[in-house]
Amino acid sequence: MTVKDISKIEGLRLAAEGNMELPVSRIFCCDLLSIAMGKAPAGCAWVTVMGNKNTVAVASLTDTACIILAEGVHLSEADRECAAGEGISVFETELPVFEAALALHRLKENL
């Protein structure tokens, strides 16, 4: 599965475009940046409700493939520019964290 594949999930909107060709190895759910910094696997699709520049910074440090902001969380314009500048794609959705992760899992299973 690639970041581009994730963009096809109904209910997800691309808020910041990074490298859409990156492979996605795993799905990771976490809302504590300090834990994500130490445990987010490289190449993961990170589902969270933490939508700010610190999230983008942690994603960059951990080589996260993309961020999915759940529960209707949105990035500010400055944070969108930061994510795009770091090459990190960010999606936004109204789905709860679990349902967003489940949609990713189903996509991965069907590819």
Contacts of 36 (CB under 8 A, 6+ apart): 28, 30, 46, 48, 58, 62
Q: What confidence score (pLDDT) does residue 111 get?
A: 86
* 58 φ, ψ (degrees, to nearest 5): -65, -40
- pTM given for the model: 0.96
Quote the mean pLDDT of the chain: 97
Residue pLDDT, tens place only, 32-57: 999 999 999 999 999 999 999 999 99
